[in-house]
Amino acid sequence: MSPVLPALSASPAPVRPGFFVDPPADRRVWNDVSPEDWNDWRWQQRERIHRMEQLEKVIDVTDEERQAFVKSDAIFHLGITPYYALLIDRADPNCPIRLQSVPKMGELTVMPEDLVDPLGEEKDMPVPGITHRYPDRVLFYLTANCPVYCRHCTRKRKVSDPRSAVEVVRQLDQGIDYIRKHDEIRDVVLSGGDPLTFSDDRLEDIIGELRTISHLEIIRLGTRNPVTLPQRITTELCEMLKKYQPIYVHTHFNHTKECTTEAAVALNRLADAGCVLGNQMVLLKGVNDDWRVVKEMNLWMLKQRCRPYYIYQCDMAEGIAHFRTSLDKGIEIIDHLRGWTSGMAVPHLVIDAPGGGGKVPVLPEYILWREEHTVRLRNYKGEKYTYVDGADPEPK
């Protein structure tokens, strides 16, 4: 049976001058908050839900969620912005936003194959905060903070840990110096945590310094703010980013419920500033393991000038095994996208190989068999065709 998908910004809310989008009329416990505060990303950060008594005022907390919070908080904190909390279905424990943001008992199960550092980032770290795995690009870890602490986070060993935040502050200059001294690096991904938790000035200090490095051509920002805190995408931020193009922004939409008017405004502001936008979805059991959800979300993102980039198989991080689907599920989703909708709406399905092997693409089987110079193919409808390979065929 097809899932019931929410309407995607069918009737856009008004965008008020000097603000973001008019807040919803029913804001649950935040009804008395002014539009000015609601649209202030700093207010949203300060007022995050991080205690059970706050969460109980916003949703009908189940016994399992209450128990999971108590047992998991020392490992990985709760953190939900008021904006993202309003996307949660108050009564449905299986709401896809709720599954991503509210603890479940599955987080306490560590499988034998699970890894603390599933992508092997630490072993490829020549200086603290820099992961240099690929020949010409690096990941630069800037902060341990995020607006929302996603329950499927692959960096639970760092994110939400204040001790990690102190270390990150000390290593920023060291990371920039490493990039400056290695002229093979042409591409840097600023990540975390979420780098947009920094103020505009602090972020500009980092980006501006990186732009003085002659061999560095591309700067990328990895951020989930357009999803969980779209108020952060201010006109001031976009004016700053416009000065340092090319800037590529990789965001992280996972479900159509996240495709709001506020998110659309955020993405379009970034695109208007010259940023090239891409989305990196993580395949999550019970959240988006349905091709209909993925297709509708990807088509919505294209309308906001954000290209679906990757679908990640869920990593082998500790405490997220309950989110992992079979690889066949990811292949099934690609099979229902390729050919059935625009190629621009079809991302790459990848496994980020455990232990630091990098991204490995996975495709459905389109080549059925090969024999000498003959290749038997199937198309997206399952129809079969024969192609003659150009490897020195015999003349007729």
The active-site residue, picked from 161, 194, 289, 352, is 352
The active-site residue, picked from 66, 242, 292, 359, is 359
The active-site residue, picked from 146, 238, 306, 314, is 146
User: Catalytic: 187?
Assistant: no
User: Catalytic: 146?
Assistant: yes
The active-site residue, picked from 40, 194, 315, 335, is 315
User: Catalytic: 352?
Assistant: yes
User: Catalytic: 359?
Assistant: yes
Cα–chain-centroid distance for residue 245? 21
CB 158 within 8 A of CB 144: yes
Asked if omega into 246 is within 30° of 0 (cis), the reply is yes
d(C-alpha 276, C-alpha 309), whole Å: 11
The active-site residue, picked from 57, 92, 134, 303, is 134
Give me the half-sphere count of Cα atoms (radius 13 Å) on the Cβ side of residue 54.
Answer: 14
**For residue 225, which of 20, 384, 16 has the smallest C-alpha distance?**
20
d(C-alpha 328, C-alpha 285), whole Å: 12
User: Catalytic: 292?
Assistant: no
The active-site residue, picked from 28, 137, 307, 378, is 137
The active-site residue, picked from 40, 98, 117, 153, is 153
Bridge-based pairing of strands 358-361 and 276-283 is: unpaired
Place of tokens 């192609």: 387
The active-site residue, picked from 150, 238, 275, 314, is 150
SS (H, E, C) 252-319: CCCCHHHCCHHHHHHHHHHHHCCCEEEEEEEECCCCCCCHHHHHHHHHHHHHCCEEEEEEEECCCECC
Place of tokens 């129809």: 383
User: Catalytic: 275?
Assistant: no
The active-site residue, picked from 155, 158, 232, 269, is 155
User: Catalytic: 392?
Assistant: no
**Helix H or strand E encompassing 376:** strand 374-378
**Helix H or strand E encompassing 42:** helix 41-46
Angle between helices 200-210 and 235-242 (to 10 degrees): 10
User: Catalytic: 51?
Assistant: no
User: Catalytic: 387?
Assistant: no
User: Catalytic: 384?
Assistant: no
The active-site residue, picked from 133, 180, 329, 378, is 133
Place of tokens 């809310």: 13
Catalytic residues: 133-134, 137, 146, 150, 153, 155, 315, 352, 359
